[in-house]
């Protein structure tokens, strides 16, 4: 998106701040993964009625966990990508949803199980429980206004959240002023099929909107790449290297990447070799795409 476009857009930012958060209520908390998946990932929906919080697809909100840290200070907020469209999952502008994985790991020195403060707070919420919300924040991941754009989305794990919002806006809702006629292409990487978040919805959208939505999965522990090794997201993209490279050249192609920071190296590797094959240096081309507002990255 060019600067003039983003200026024209009414982008809500920090309607609620940490010192005065919006107190919403949990409406529902659903397990997203299926038996056999590692860990616990939830789709959690909050009620926003009674407040002024509004947001756009691609933005994030802050959640302030209750209680204090070991120094007796209130816990700091954590940011989460919003998984619902601006109209919410119920289409009434009164809800907001997140995709949250429960953080649980072994302490490297003590071997004790450590629980992420905020993710566990969210994953344990029951309908009716209160939650402190700040934001929204973020202009990096917004969709362009062009309904004929090509939108390439690269996600791992809960990095699917903003792309769920994109796809629901494009294909599940009807809007008087926006009908998506371009190409949305999602590359989604997960360890096992049971960890593929929103699988039934994504597969149904891909079936129903063949002309405008393509879905490619990289399931690292269950699929092999052409070398017989684990299938990672960059290996899946490599199968379409020429087609993707052609799409990257189009001035209305936008590429979005969201997920764990570790995914960036693999994608960069793919981009470097694909650019080189086409007589271009990736760093130079990446810089150009960024300056044109067509390369959007949000990793954590």
Helix (H/G/I), strand (E/B), else coil: 141 = coil
Question: Binding site residues, as ranges?
Answer: 81, 101, 158, 190-191, 220-221, 230, 259-260, 298
Of the candidates 200, 205, 197, 55, the one whose C-alpha atom is nearest the C-alpha of residue 135 is 55
Helices marked H in 59-149 — which ranges? 117-123
Torsion of CA 124, 125, 126, 127, to 10 degrees: -160
Q: How far is CA 149 from CA 129, 146, 161, 179, 296, in A?
A: 40, 6, 20, 11, 14
| Burial class (CB within 10 angstroms; exposed 0-12, middle 13-18, buried 19+) of 197 | buried
Q: From the annotation, which residues make up the binding site for NADP(+)?
A: 81, 101, 158, 190-191, 220-221, 230, 259-260, 298
How many degrees, rounded to 5, is the angle at CA 263 between CA 261 and CA 268? 110
Residue (of 102, 86, 92) closest to 32 by Cα position: 102
Q: Which residues are catalytic?
A: 80-81, 258, 298, 300
- What is the pairing mode between strands 295-299 and 213-219? unpaired
Tokens of residue 176, six digits: 């008087």
């Amino acid at each position: 998106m060019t600067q003039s476009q983003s200026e024209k857009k009414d982008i809500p930012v920090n309607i609620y701040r940490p010192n005065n958060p919006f107190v919403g209520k949990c409406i529902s908390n659903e397990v997203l993964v299926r038996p056999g998946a590692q860990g616990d990932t939830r789709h959690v929906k909050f009620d926003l009625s009674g407040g002024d919080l509004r947001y756009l697809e691609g933005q994030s909100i802050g959640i302030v966990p209750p209680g204090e840290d070991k120094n007796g200070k209130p816990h700091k907020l954590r940011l989460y990508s919003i998984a619902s469209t601006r109209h919410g999952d119920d289409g009434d502008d009164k809800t907001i949803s997140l995709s949250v994985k429960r953080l649980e790991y072994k302490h490297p020195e003590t071997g004790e199980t450590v629980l992420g403060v905020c993710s566990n707070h969210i994953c344990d919420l029951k309908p009716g429980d209160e939650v402190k919300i700040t934001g929204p924040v973020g202009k990096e991941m917004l969709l362009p206004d062009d309904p004929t754009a090509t939108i390439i989305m690269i996600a791992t794990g809960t990095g699917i959240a903003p792309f769920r919002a994109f796809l629901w806006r494009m294909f599940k809702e009807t809007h008087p002023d926006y009908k998506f006629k371009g190409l949305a292409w999602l590359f989604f990487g997960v360890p096992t099929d049971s960890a593929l978040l929103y699988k039934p919805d994504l597969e149904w959208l891909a079936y129903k909107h063949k002309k405008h939505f393509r879905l490619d999965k990289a399931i690292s522990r269950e699929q092999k790449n052409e070398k017989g090794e684990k299938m990672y997201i960059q290996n899946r993209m490599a199968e379409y290297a020429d087609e993707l490279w052609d799409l990257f050249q189009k001035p209305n192609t936008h590429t979005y990447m969201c997920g764990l920071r570790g995914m960036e190296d693999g994608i960069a590797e793919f981009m470097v070799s694909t650019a080189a094959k086409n007589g271009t240096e990736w760093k130079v081309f990446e810089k150009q795409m960024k300056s044109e507002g067509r390369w959007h990255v949000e990793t954590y």
